[in-house]
Structure 1
Amino acid sequence: MYVFIFSTVVIGFASAGVVMLLFRLWGRKAPKYVIPLVAAIAMFGYMIWDEYTWFDRYEARLPQTISVIQTFTDENIFAPWTLVSAPTNRFTAIDREKLVSNPQNPDEKRVMTLLLRKGGETLALTHLVDCAQGRRGYITPDTSLDSNGFPTAMNEWFDMDADDPLRAAVCS
């Protein structure tokens, strides 16, 4: 967050400096409104560019073992351009390296999911997915595990639709 604020301010000062330099090279004095207007437009443009390219830049830096399975967009009335085309500002990914099938029941798979949000903390969750019954459960520190690292009993299951992205990624 601090890098974003710092970058935005630097863009504003740099663009204002370029305009001041151009006016000086032309031998004219810049009107009072031009420099703040150019700085504001440059900062605004940078903020929009950062918002719309965040997901692509972040996804490109992910390791090969991480696969994005679902993206989310949010519309914001205070950013009217998002009502036309909302940017991706959060996504769910799985770590294929940590996808493990239960040796005693191959339909059960343990997978780590990552929930990432622009400007927020990354949340890592471990799921137990039952592909045969189409359900999933969370493995928490309180869950008792067998010798293979799979739960001996799940307290709470959540049904998954046939087109659920987690189910499609893990059970295929």
Structure 2
Amino acid sequence: MFYTLIATLCAGIAGAGLVMLLRTVLKGRVPKWATPVAAGAAMIAATIGSEYAWYETSADALPEGMEIVATRENQSWYRPWTYLSPYIDGFVAVDLLSVRTNQAAPGLHLLNVYVFGRWSAATEIPSLVDCDQNRRATIIDGIIFDEDGTPQNVQWQDADETDELIIAVCAEAN
């Protein structure tokens, strides 16, 4: 966030400096009010560019084995351009290298899911995926596994065939 602030301030200084240079070269044909307008426009452009570039930059920085399974688009009334082109301010990734399978229950997989947000720290969520019954669950304290590998005290969420998390995990596990 600090670097974004510094980049925005630098963009404002660059925008104002460009107009001041134009005023000097054109010998006053550019009005004085254009300098702060250019600074503000450059700062707004830098902020918009930073918001649209965040997802691609963050996705490229993910380590090998991480697969993005969901994204969250943002549209805001105070950013009217987002209705034409929403930007991504969050995504969910699964660590396919962390997928563990219990040999007693081969359709059941334990893994780590990560939730990333534009202005928040990444959150790790230990999860279970049941490929046989097409469902998933978040692991919470108090989960117990039977001798046959079946988890107890789990609140399963049924999913449809298009659930990207289940598709990615089950394809990796098989």
Q: State whether TM-score is above 0.5.
A: yes
Equivalent pair of 1:72/1:89 in contact (CA under 8 Å): yes
What is the number of residues matched between the two proteins?
Answer: 170
Match for 1:155: what amino acid? V
1:113: how far off? 0.6
Residue 53 of structure 2: aligned partner: 53
After TM superposition, list the pairs within 5 Å mapping 1:114-153 onto structure 2.
114-144=114-144, 152-153=151-152
Distance verdict in 2 for CA 1:137–1:27, change over 3 Å: same
Residue 161 of structure 2: aligned partner: 162
Residues of 1 paired with 2:80 and 2:122: CA distance? 27
Residues of 1 paired with 2:164 and 2:150: CA distance? 23
Mind listing any 5+ residue stretches in structure 2 that lack a counterpart?
none
Residue 36 of structure 1: aligned partner: 36
Mind listing any 5+ residue stretches in structure 1 that lack a counterpart?
none
Shifted more, 67-76 versus 25-34: the winner is 25-34
1:151: how far off? 7.0
Residues of 2 paired with 1:152 and 1:162: CA distance? 23
Shifted more, 64-73 versus 133-142: the winner is 133-142
Equivalent pair of 2:69/2:94 in contact (CA under 8 Å): yes
Distance verdict in 2 for CA 1:114–1:151, change over 3 Å: farther
Distance verdict in 2 for CA 1:32–1:112, change over 3 Å: same
Cα deviation, 1:6-64, whole Å, max 9, x if unaligned, reads: 22122101221232234334444752211111111111111111121211111111111
Cα deviation, 1:88-126, whole Å, max 9, x if unaligned, reads: 111110111101111111100111111111111211101
With structure 2 as the length reference, what TM-score do the two structures score? 0.87
Residue 17 of structure 2: aligned partner: 17
Residues of 2 paired with 1:16 and 1:59: CA distance? 33
Equivalent pair of 1:110/1:129 in contact (CA under 8 Å): yes
Equivalent pair of 1:139/1:151 in contact (CA under 8 Å): no
| CA-based RMSD | 2.1
Residues of 2 paired with 1:170 and 1:13: CA distance? 48
With structure 1 as the length reference, what TM-score do the two structures score? 0.88
Residues of 2 paired with 1:144 and 1:20: CA distance? 69
Runs of 4 or more, structure 1, over 3 Å off, are 25-30, 144-147
Equivalent pair of 2:16/2:36 in contact (CA under 8 Å): yes
Q: Percent identity?
A: 29
Shifted more, 136-145 versus 63-72: the winner is 136-145
